[in-house]
């Protein structure tokens, strides 16, 4: 069982890391994260000995939150949150594809948590969603659309995801 103060510190570190990773990327200095969390760098390293431990914890936390949001959001709102997760974390994709064994389980966890959540959302949206739309395929398609395109920016990503979502509607 984790002590209450240790849990508070871990929660503060995760929240701070999510914020810092969004603005400064996953290679941001540990001190920046610790300062924002209101703890010392030693506390950060006590909870997350390796940078990869913190990245994995942040991603798992955000994946879990997104899976839960599928119970309350519309398809469009959920995909806006999904795009936010994918498109606003500089360096996440490079870290995940770095070959570091610390990240091996994340793709499976991602699919295991998000595909059923999205499928339940699509099922609730039926019959306005084409019946041949597969939640797993849709997750991958949107993830690919979130890859940065030189000189296009986030508005382009949002527009392309909108085009894709228009295409899954039953006519």
Q: How confident is the model at residue 68 (pLDDT cuts 50, 70, 90)?
A: very high
Q: What angle do CA 144, 50, 115 make, to 5 degrees?
A: 30
Q: What is the CATH number of the domain that holds 7?
A: 1.10.10.60
Based on the domain organization, do 64 and 39 belong to the same domain? no
- Number of folded domains in the chain? 2
Based on the domain organization, do 106 and 64 belong to the same domain? yes
Distance of CA 100 to the CA centre of its chain: 18
Based on the domain organization, do 29 and 71 belong to the same domain? no
Quote the percentage of the chain above a pLDDT of 70: 99
**137, pLDDT greater than 90:** yes
More confident residue, 4 or 92: 4
Based on the domain organization, do 156 and 108 belong to the same domain? yes
**150, pLDDT greater than 90:** no
Alpha-carbon span 115 to 120, nearest angstrom: 9
pLDDT in tens, 72-83: 999 999 999 999
Q: How confident is the model at residue 98 (pLDDT cuts 50, 70, 90)?
A: confident
Based on the domain organization, do 30 and 71 belong to the same domain? no
pLDDT in tens, 18-32: 999 988 888 899 999
Based on the domain organization, do 104 and 142 belong to the same domain? yes
Question: What pLDDT, on the 0 to 100 scale, is given for residue 95?
Answer: 76
Based on the domain organization, do 103 and 161 belong to the same domain? yes
**56, pLDDT greater than 80:** yes
**88, pLDDT greater than 90:** no
| Domain hosting residue 2, numbered range | 1-49
Residue 39, phi-psi category: left (phi > 0), alpha (psi -120 to 50), beta (remainder): beta
pTM of the model: 0.88
**125, pLDDT greater than 80:** yes
């Amino acid at each position: 069982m984790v002590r209450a103060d240790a849990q508070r510190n871990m929660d503060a570190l995760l929240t701070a890391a999510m914020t810092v990773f969004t603005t400064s990327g996953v290679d941001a200095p540990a001190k920046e994260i610790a300062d924002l969390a209101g703890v010392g760098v030693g506390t950060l390293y006590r909870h997350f000995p390796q940078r990869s431990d913190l990245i994995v914890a942040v991603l798992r936390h955000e994946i879990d939150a997104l899976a839960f949001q599928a119970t309350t959001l519309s398809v469009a709102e959920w995909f806006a949150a999904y795009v936010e997760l994918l498109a606003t974390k500089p360096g996440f994709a490079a870290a995940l594809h770095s070959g570091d064994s610390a990240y091996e389980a994340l793709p499976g966890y991602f699919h295991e948590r998000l595909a059923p959540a999205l499928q339940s959302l699509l099922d609730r949206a039926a019959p306005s969603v084409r019946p041949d739309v597969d939640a797993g395929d849709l997750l991958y398609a949107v993830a690919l659309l979130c890859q940065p395109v030189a000189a296009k920016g986030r508005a382009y990503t949002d527009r392309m995801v909108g085009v894709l979502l228009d295409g899954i509607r039953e006519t």
